[in-house]
A and B are shown apart, each in its own frame.
Chain A
């Protein structure tokens, strides 16, 4: 119904293709959950090698927006472009194929299983007849972990023996190994100590150094302010701010979030 009109309108404003500066461009995204209007025409762009802080109060629509991008929910309206091309993301597999990976804190790892088995979970390298290539698994695990600055010696250690920060490191190393282009981190520092949070933020910096864009979703403005280059603020399903780091401060950001509008 509306989508054809929308398509036409889009072609009028930008004939041919989208701006290729953007890695991801979400245009006019709408989402209803029953009677709840969760997203009300949100535009959201991510450039290459950029760390974005996606902030907002509870129920602002951060998670919904990200779940649409990572294929867990379909959008009711709107379009997604990836490196300038229109894409349809129906499920998490589609998102992964494009190189969009999401790291959820609790759901990411199997605690009693080893680091290397966790990193290769579901994408195991095999020799023949489907038997695991443990040598490759162990070596690549340690290599990838060291790339994000996490030095561990035993890839057979069960994840539950690691600190909270190290566990995030394992989850992040996994997406790095599988050549993600965009990594979405959902509250990566929640329930972590100050020291562990700092460690996780180092991992994120390393991701960027590897040429990967990062969307950092959080309540904690202090954490995200240290590493993000741009902040997108949502409130009540709408984007109320899109500010570069140099144009704002921690106080300014919290004010916007608390007031629900740009002062």
Chain B
């Protein structure tokens, strides 16, 4: 197999190459090569992980053939819920459990509305996006509120610590959640239901797969992940702000698409989404380190998204004639 064929076959490899290329460019062109400094790598692994974790679950939902525009709003709402529960003096682990449950329920609600009412998830979650952020603004009056968790060292360690004093724990969360979702999607029968439901819902249904249940499970998982990231971010920042998660919905979709996920569902891989998420967050990080004005990130995102979809399209055409699964 020629090298080119290898790249076509293992789609995630080409996403990884883009990621690597960006790393090299940023290292070469950042002042004093600051991009590769220990501080920046740590910041990137810790901060970036929050968005990356969410992108993984967004990607899984997209393979199942649905969108979620409400992820940023679920995040900020859960962030507020956790703050309120924490302030009541409730046991912190109970508060985590309650927040995660609420996140999963909101996700499930998106799924129930989408499948039972039979409306596009684009609409359901557009409504959800406005509703949950609106509700958060209403309840919080748009104010910032501090959260002091210093009396719970174990809790802090779980969400913001480092492993062996070097690797940020957030990155380990990202890695393990990617592994769990990846093995579910690629090697578990549930994954087969997700792919076939996203690819041809009628066929999946005819073969006895509960396509509505499969979609709802993906929505609920995403809601759960959103609330998890909400807590993680809140603990790191130490302040609740009603702008948390703003704009993440489109960036998460972009990450999945850059990672080779088809907008129409049925195509994608967890490895691709993994590198796609890292690519999106490295662009943001790199431009900051290079001191390029923030607004450029949007310009670059635009170029990266469109070109990667074109590359995906071309590769998909070639790959079809070669056979083999996507990794």
A interface residue numbers (CB < 8 A to B)? 92-93, 96, 102, 104, 107-114, 117-118, 120-124, 126, 129-132, 134, 154, 156-158, 160-161
- B22 at interface by CB-CB < 8 Å: no
Would A126 and B199 count as touching, CB distance under 8 A?
no
Would A110 and B266 count as touching, CB distance under 8 A?
yes
B193, B206, B266: most-surrounded residue (chain A CB, <10 A): B206
- Chain A residues within 8 Å of B192, by CB: 113, 117, 120-121, 124, 132
B196, B262, B267: most-surrounded residue (chain A CB, <10 A): B196
- B126 at interface by CB-CB < 8 Å: no
* Assembled-state Cα–Cα distance A134/B183 (Å): 13
Nearest 3 pairs between A and B by C-beta? Answer: A157-B323, A122-B207, A110-B199
Residue of B nearest to A110 (CB): B199
- Chain B residues within 8 Å of A132, by CB: 187-189, 191-192
- Chain A residues within 8 Å of B183, by CB: 131
- Chain A residues within 8 Å of B204, by CB: 110, 121-122
In the complex, 30 of the A-B residue pairs with CB atoms within 8 angstroms, ordered by the A residue number, are: A92-B206, A102-B206, A104-B206, A107-B200, A108-B203, A109-B203, A110-B195, A110-B196, A110-B199, A110-B200, A112-B199, A113-B192, A113-B196, A113-B199, A113-B266, A121-B192, A121-B203, A121-B209, A122-B208, A124-B189, A131-B183, A131-B189, A132-B187, A132-B191, A154-B323, A156-B323, A156-B324, A158-B320, A158-B323, A161-B323
Cβ-neighbour of A111 out of B187, B190, B199, B209 (below 8 A): B199
- Chain A residues within 8 Å of B148, by CB: none
Query: A96-B208, A131-B188 in contact; A114/B325 too (CB < 8 A)?
Result: yes
- Chain B residues within 8 Å of A134, by CB: 187
A169 CB, min distance to chain B CBs, angstroms: 16
* Assembled-state Cα–Cα distance A122/B195 (Å): 11
- Chain B residues within 8 Å of A123, by CB: 207-208
- B156 at interface by CB-CB < 8 Å: no
- Chain A residues within 8 Å of B91, by CB: none
Of residues 196 to 222 in B, which have CB atoms within 8 Å of A's CB atoms? 196, 199-200, 202-204, 206-209
- Chain B residues within 8 Å of A129, by CB: 188
B268 CB, min distance to chain A CBs, angstroms: 9
Residue of B nearest to A115 (CB): B323
- B2 at interface by CB-CB < 8 Å: no
A-B contacts at CB below 8 angstroms, number? 85
- Chain B residues within 8 Å of A117, by CB: 192, 195-196
- Chain B residues within 8 Å of A118, by CB: 196
- B88 at interface by CB-CB < 8 Å: no
Interface size class of B (residues with CB under 8 A): 20 to 34
- B321 at interface by CB-CB < 8 Å: yes
* Assembled-state Cα–Cα distance A156/B209 (Å): 21
Would A130 and B208 count as touching, CB distance under 8 A?
no
* Assembled-state Cα–Cα distance A118/B206 (Å): 12
- Chain A residues within 8 Å of B322, by CB: 161
* Assembled-state Cα–Cα distance A102/B324 (Å): 28
* Assembled-state Cα–Cα distance A154/B209 (Å): 25
Contact pattern, B 304-327, Cβ under 8 Å of A = 1, otherwise 0? 000000000000000011111100
Cβ-neighbour of B203 out of A92, A102, A110 (below 8 A): A110
Residue of A nearest to B202 (CB): A107
- Chain B residues within 8 Å of A130, by CB: 188-190
* Assembled-state Cα–Cα distance A110/B324 (Å): 15
B200 CB, min distance to chain A CBs, angstroms: 4
Query: A112-B267, A121-B203 in contact; A93/B188 too (CB < 8 A)?
Result: no
- Chain B residues within 8 Å of A102, by CB: 206
B74 CB, min distance to chain A CBs, angstroms: 27
Residue of B nearest to A134 (CB): B187
* Assembled-state Cα–Cα distance A114/B186 (Å): 12
Residue of B nearest to A178 (CB): B207
Would B208 and A93 count as touching, CB distance under 8 A?
yes
* Assembled-state Cα–Cα distance A161/B320 (Å): 5
- Chain A residues within 8 Å of B195, by CB: 110, 112-113, 117
- Chain B residues within 8 Å of A113, by CB: 192, 195-196, 199, 266
Would A157 and B324 count as touching, CB distance under 8 A?
yes
* Assembled-state Cα–Cα distance A112/B267 (Å): 7
Of residues 154 to 195 in B, which have CB atoms within 8 Å of A's CB atoms? 183, 187-193, 195
